[in-house]
Amino acid sequence: MRITRIEFAGQTGIFAIAKRPHEAKQIEVEILQPNKEGIHWVKADDEDELFSMAAFLQQVLDGYEDTMEEAACYYNVLMSISDIGI
């Protein structure tokens, strides 16, 4: 089994979609907010970049900056489409 897409739902009207096509070296993370969108790319084999993205997702989706524990929850999900630990 291979996971290629993850959808996150945050506070009202804010979503994120993480995608990784077959054999891509980067994970595309699209942030969807009312009247605003953005796309970010993260190297699929870079733990630091993945954790930074996880912390960013936690802030945007939850609406506040919290502890590393909450960011770690997002990181663990992103790991399922990364090259780390494979």
Residue 6's beta-bridge partner residues? 18
* No. of helices (H) and no. of strands (E), the chain: 2, 4
Q: How confident is the model at residue 12 (pLDDT cuts 50, 70, 90)?
A: confident
What pLDDT, on the 0 to 100 scale, is given for residue 55?
Answer: 95
Where exactly are the structural domains of the chain? 5-79
pTM metric for this prediction? 0.90
Distance CA 70, CA 59 (A): 10
Q: How confident is the model at residue 85 (pLDDT cuts 50, 70, 90)?
A: low
Q: What is the pLDDT of residues 47-70, one digit of tens each?
A: 999 999 999 999 999 988 877 888
- The token duo for 44 is 């699929």
